[in-house]
Amino acid sequence: MNILVIQPGFPNEVPYFVRGLARQGAAVFGIGDQPPQAIPEPARAGLRDYLYVKNLWQREAVIPALRQWRPDLKIHRIDCFWEAAMELAADLRVAFNIPGLTPEKTRGFRDKHIMRQVLNQAGVRNPRQAKAESFAQIEAALEFTGYPAIVKPVAGAGSADTYRLNSRQDFERVKPALKKIAAVVVEEFITGTEYTFDTISVNGHILFANVERYEPNMLIARSQEHLSPMTISLRDLSAPHFQEARAMCTTALNALGLDRGFAHMEWFHTEKGEVVFGEIAARPPGGDAGMLMNYTSDFDVYNAYAEAMVHGRISQAIERKYNVAIIFKRAKGNGRIHAIEGMQPLRKKWGAHILKEDLLPIGAKRRDWRQTLISDGYIMLRHPNLDTTLQIADDIAQNVTLWAR
């Protein structure tokens, strides 16, 4: 099977998927705007060949370049793990007559209004929602959703330009920020715990599913710098709300027409016990979530994905053994890291459960926490018991401090 991967070196975990596909026997080709020498080693090891293009977004140049590149190459599949290139992948499928998500289906994953319309029709419990392209339309939409509400871009990512509105005054306050966004969706605000539902499917069957809990909800995590947000991959998915989420997410996949590949969904569990759909992307989750999956079950999700894509099955036994938590840290102060406090006692107390410490070293420049959830680094741990996992994670959130100046 010849697979073309768009941007095989980015984001973070894509190189492992590329290597996995090659290990499963696929001939993997890449196209991207990263110079070949910038592509991380695992991807290079997996790639049979790579077409470097200066501008990946210019269809009129990229399509002929791809045609001329290897005239005898018959591409069977196009894989895209990067949200920004989903439409490009769909357009290339059309140009080269390759099965997979079409441009029309891709819109269901990229446009949060179309997504809700399709899912409402399929009977999925969505927040009340309306699209708006002017302040007057937002106002009308707010009549329909009521307060509190969420306003977010129709095609957003990473909680960018997403606002919770508790009142009319909040709406007035965010108006200047909303001006630059052409189209938004306004939604009923759902109060509850936020989870993911991440799947690998083949022929409409889910072969692997993983659930992570966001602590706190992603919007709060991405808007309050002083917090140490965490994501916890959960061991025990037997509670009824997880079963309901599974049924809801299966309906969503079918309705949107993703019968093959990775999907990353988000959903809420409200205090009343209701399960409500958040959103969906036709790719694996970001933030190094593959690692969390691997440590949950002591397996290799990159390989499992590749086996599913190339051979239509996952033959590794997958047992959920641990809760895995990743705690993202943001330094106090600006500039460069000059001290890291609190790790030593934690190592003494919980060392056996800590999997990885990947904090920025002393002297490193702080990252932009608004741009990257990873922020100034993370600590990852695992434990079979969820309460203990949360206790250790909390200890790390409260008592590890990076100082910058």
Ligand X SMILES: Nc1ncnc2c1ncn2[C@@H]1O[C@H](COP(=O)(O)OP(=O)(O)O)[C@@H](O)[C@H]1O
Residues of this chain that interact with Mg ion (CB under 5 A) are: 266
266 binds ligand X (CB under 6 A): yes
Distance of closest approach, residue 71 Cβ to ligand X, in angstroms: 39
Distance of closest approach, residue 85 Cβ to ligand X, in angstroms: 15
* Contact of residue 158 among ligand X, Mg ion, none (CB under 5-8 Å per partner type): ligand X
Nearer to ligand X, 158 or 342 (CB): 158
Among 278, 285, 287, 377, binds ligand X (CB under 6 A): 278
* Contact of residue 257 among Mg ion, ligand X, none (CB under 5-8 Å per partner type): none
Distance of closest approach, residue 252 Cβ to ligand X, in angstroms: 14
Reading the block at residue 199, the tokens are: 């799947």
**H helices of 111-197, where?**
112-121, 135-145, 168-178
Nearer to Mg ion, 83 or 300 (CB): 83
Distance of closest approach, residue 279 Cβ to Mg ion, in angstroms: 5
Among 198, 279, 288, 376, binds ligand X (CB under 6 A): 279
Number of other residues whose CB lies within 10 A of the CB of residue 323: 27
156 binds ligand X (CB under 6 A): yes
DSSP 199-267: EEEETTEEEEEE-EEEES-HHHHTT-TT---EEEE-S---SHHHHHHHHHHHHHHHHHT--SEEEEEEE
Nearer to ligand X, 126 or 323 (CB): 126
Contact region with ligand X (CB under 6 A), list: 11-19, 50-58, 153-161, 366-374: 153-161
Distance of closest approach, residue 219 Cβ to ligand X, in angstroms: 4
Binding mask 214-253 for ligand X (x = CB under 6 A): ---xxx----------------------------------
69 binds ligand X (CB under 6 A): no
Q: In 3D, which of 292, 304, 300, 295 has the Cα closest to residue 262? A: 304
Nearer to ligand X, 86 or 310 (CB): 86
Distance of closest approach, residue 250 Cβ to ligand X, in angstroms: 20
Reading the block at residue 68, the tokens are: 């001329």
Contact 23, 300 (CB under 8 A): no
Q: Which residues in 122-141 contact ligand X (CB under 6 A)?
A: 127
369 CB-near residues (< 8 Å, 6+ apart):
225, 330, 375, 376
Number of other residues whose CB lies within 10 A of the CB of residue 365: 12
CA distance 18 to 58: 24
Using alpha carbons, list the distances in angstroms from residue 70 to 50, 88, 252: 11, 19, 38
Residues that bind ligand X (rule: CB under 6 A) add up to a total of 19
Torsion sign, CA atoms 221, 222, 223, 227? positive
194 binds ligand X (CB under 6 A): yes
- Give the chain's largest Cα–Cα span: 62
Task: Please provide residue 364's backbone torsions phi and psi, each rounded to the nearest 5 degrees.
Answer: -75, 150
Nearer to Mg ion, 280 or 314 (CB): 280
Interface residues with ligand X (CB under 6 A) are 127, 150, 152, 156-159, 162, 187-190, 194, 217-219, 266, 278-279
